[in-house]
Amino acid sequence: MPTVTITVNGNTVSRAVEGRTLLVHFLREQLGLTGTHVGCDTSQCGACVVLVDGRSIKSCTMLAAQADGREVTTIEGLAAADGTLHPMQAAFRQHHGLQYGFCTPGMVMSAVELARTTPHLTEQAVRDGLEGNICRCTGYHNIVKAILAGAEAMQVEPVAQAAE
């Protein structure tokens, strides 16, 4: 089995993995980072979104081996070491951007990249940016409010979107 070395939430980890191991299963089963959810197993719901080198990726669409040498941030890695919530996490909490919460980690991770890469974030840009994330409980109104507030709280200068 090949060994992968990935920096996850600031910590470098090396593990032997089967070549077919998905990143989502690597994170959950080998590292115990269960905040990244497995929702649909078909890459439709977005519950498994993590940041890979700062870009939101559905971790059910990426092999763990493809993340070798890369930096992965999960929902557990957003908060500060002292437990202070990331501004986007705090905004979801403050603006009731969750109900059941199963979709929340993926929504938050998608929102972090969206806030970093979209200048002049608008309600429509948030709705468009969440196209790959499904929430079956809230109707998105409070999620959109939370993302707009979180983006403002992040006060991050947007960066240009990398060319595909």
- Residue 21 — very low, low, confident or very high, per pLDDT cuts 50/70/90? very high
Span 41-66, mean pLDDT? Answer: 93
- Residue 22 — very low, low, confident or very high, per pLDDT cuts 50/70/90? very high
Mean pLDDT of the chain: 90
- Same topology for domains 3-77 and 87-154, yes or no? no
Q: What is the pLDDT of residue 69?
A: 98
Specify whether domain 87-154 bears CATH 3.40.50.970: no
Token pair 């498994």 is found at 48
Q: Where are the domains of the chain?
A: 3-77, 87-154
- Residue 136 — very low, low, confident or very high, per pLDDT cuts 50/70/90? confident
Span 30-36, mean pLDDT? Answer: 95
Are 107 and 48 a contacting pair, CB within 8 Å? no
Q: What is the pLDDT of residue 164?
A: 42
Phi, psi of 65 (to 5 degrees): -65, -30
DSSP letter string over 69-117?
A: T-EEE-GGGTS-TTSPPPHHHHHHHHTT--SS-SSHHHHHHHHHHHHHH
Question: Which overall architecture, per CATH, does domain 3-77 show?
Answer: Roll (3.10)
* Predicted confidence (pLDDT) at residue 138 exceeds the cutoff of 80: no
- Is pLDDT larger for residue 163 or for residue 61? 61
* Predicted confidence (pLDDT) at residue 157 exceeds the cutoff of 70: no
**The pTM is what?**
0.89
